[in-house]
């Protein structure tokens, strides 16, 4: 009996070790497959000609998956999405273009191209048509909001929903100290002193401030973003382009009622991920969206203007959860 017990115990121990080894191997295999899938997410850097301009864009993810178009703000480019794109591309088709005069896209002379929000939105609209993207979600931040909302009101049937991160569509969002000198420029566009008063917003100190102000822990902010942006801002002629766009931003508030009417009529699902410490677009601009939209997933984050820099993982998870519901409808 004792001999039998020892044999049985030995057999069971061996069986347990084999079973444990099988589970371990299976888990390791699954981890390997997951790691391989993530490793295969390649962000491609492409250029396409649109309206005679070379438009640079980043693209990743399966072309058959729902498409997300990422529209950047000032003074950056599609580089602001460099860390977000791979996190979304596991499940979604992601496209992030640079506007004319920004990033790696063409920067035509001001005598050859009028730098206005109407024109930039038209180029971005034609860009999406050139890529034959027929339906998409729009991620809009800062300048991306007036560009994206122009596209959406022109083609409501194409836009499946929004992710809004510090992008304005209401007067409340511009009722703060930051906008006062810019509004003075809108009132006096021929006054060169009003224009020159805004040139300081194009300095490296101002660019770095946009990245770091309102961030609880600035050590989380990589210096690469503001350095990259400033390098492109400092190109000959670019600061005059940016000053033209400061003036053109005055064309956006008169369109707010039109955009709000679009929200009320079409009720696009919206995820709001807003850096509540932003002094340019404070949380006062986030709240009014809930007046006009019934389906709003609303999050105020302890972050600044470029919330992706400090809260990128949190935002990515919120986007994936939001799209998991919105893309299935």
Catalytic residues: 305
| Complete edge-to-edge strand list for the sheet that includes strand 67-71 | 44-50, 53-60, 93-97, 67-71, 136-140, 159-164, 270-275, 296-301
Integer CA distances (angstroms), 81 to 78, 97, 238, in order:
6, 10, 22
What are the φ and ψ backbone dihedral angles of 246, each rounded to 5 degrees? -60, -45
Concatenated DSSP letters for 141-210?
A: -TTHHHHHHHHHHH-TTTEEEEEESS---SGGGG-SGGGHHHHHHHH-TT-HHHHHTTGGGGSHHHHHHH
Which tokens hold the place of 110?
């001001």
């Amino acid at each position: 009996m004792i001999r039998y017990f020892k044999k049985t115990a030995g057999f069971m121990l061996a069986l347990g070790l084999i079973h444990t080894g099988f589970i371990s191997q299976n888990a390791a295999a699954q981890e390997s497959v997951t790691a391989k899938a993530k490793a295969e997410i390649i962000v491609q850097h492409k250029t396409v000609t649109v309206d005679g301009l070379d438009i640079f864009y980043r693209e990743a993810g399966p072309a058959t998956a729902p498409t997300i178009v990422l529209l950047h703000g000032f003074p950056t480019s599609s580089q602001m999405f460099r860390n977000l794109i791979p996190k979304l591309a596991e499940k979604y088709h992601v496209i992030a273009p640079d506007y004319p005069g920004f990033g790696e896209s063409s920067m035509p002379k001001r005598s050859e191209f009028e730098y206005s929000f109407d024109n930039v939105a038209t180029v971005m609209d034609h860009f999406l048509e050139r890529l034959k993207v027929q339906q998409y979600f729009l991620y809009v931040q800062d300048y991306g909001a007036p560009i994206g909302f122009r596209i959406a009101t022109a083609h409501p049937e194409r836009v499946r929903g929004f992710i809004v991160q510090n992008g304005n569509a209401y007067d409340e969002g511009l009722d703060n100290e930051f906008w006062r000198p810019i509004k003075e420029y809108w009132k006096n566009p021929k006054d060169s002193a009003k224009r020159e008063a805004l040139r300081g917003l194009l300095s490296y100190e101002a660019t770095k401030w946009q990245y770091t102000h309102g961030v609880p822990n600035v050590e989380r902010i990589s210096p690469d973003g503001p350095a990259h942006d400033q390098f492109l801002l400092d190109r000959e002629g670019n600061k005059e382009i940016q000053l033209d766009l400061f003036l053109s931003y005055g064309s956006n508030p008169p369109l707010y009622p039109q955009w709000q009417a679009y929200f009320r009529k079409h009720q696009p699902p919206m995820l709001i991920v807003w850096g509540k410490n932003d002094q340019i677009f404070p949380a006062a601009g986030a709240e009014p969206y809930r007046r006009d939209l019934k389906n709003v997933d609303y999050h105020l984050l302890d972050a600044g203007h470029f919330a992706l820099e400090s809260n990128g993982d949190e935002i990515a998870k919120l986007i994936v959860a939001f799209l998991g519901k919105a893309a299935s409808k």
